[in-house]
Amino acid sequence: MPYSEDFAFIAFYCFLLEEQLNDEEHLLLLRRRMQLKTRNYLTTSCLIDPLYSSWHILHRYGDNKAFLACLGVDRAMFLELNNVFSFWYEVKSGPGRSGRPPKLSQKSSVLGLLLHFYAGTMENTTLCELFGVPPSSLSRIIQKAETAFEQVHV
């Protein structure tokens, strides 16, 4: 299916049936939406440093209302989730380790990204801008974070 037909099908399906979807179907649509190719690509040079991103301002200064609006959980619940999530999510590089440093080095940022992805209705490009990560990193981080988040529920 060509790009435009694929996009039109998913947009139409989401619009008509969003109210009737169960969680599994909604997750499948979100994953499919992430797989759509865009013609313009964000690079690291046109994004803000992740340490100075909008997420860090929300994380540092946001109150319960801001957390509920953006993530679907209040600050206390986010901190509890982060404690458990941090146990399962591993950052494989950092000081003293070889390899490229991760774009999101703080586990709270990864959890924030995952909750934004699930609670928000924004496009991946917007998530890239909010967190300061390119699309390829965004996809990898979300996949790895989903795997860790599944362990939290076990």
Rounded CA separation 60/100 (Å): 26
In this predicted structure, what is the pLDDT of residue 75?
93
In this predicted structure, what is the pLDDT of residue 64?
92
Task: Give the whole-number percent of the chain exceeding pLDDT 70.
Answer: 74
Would the pTM count as exceeding 0.75? no
Question: Residue 85 has which token pair?
Answer: 């999530």
Single-letter amino acid, residue 117: F
Instruction: Tell me if 72 sits within 8 A of 64, measured CB to CB.
Output: no
SS3 of 32, please? Answer: helix
In this predicted structure, what is the pLDDT of residue 73?
92
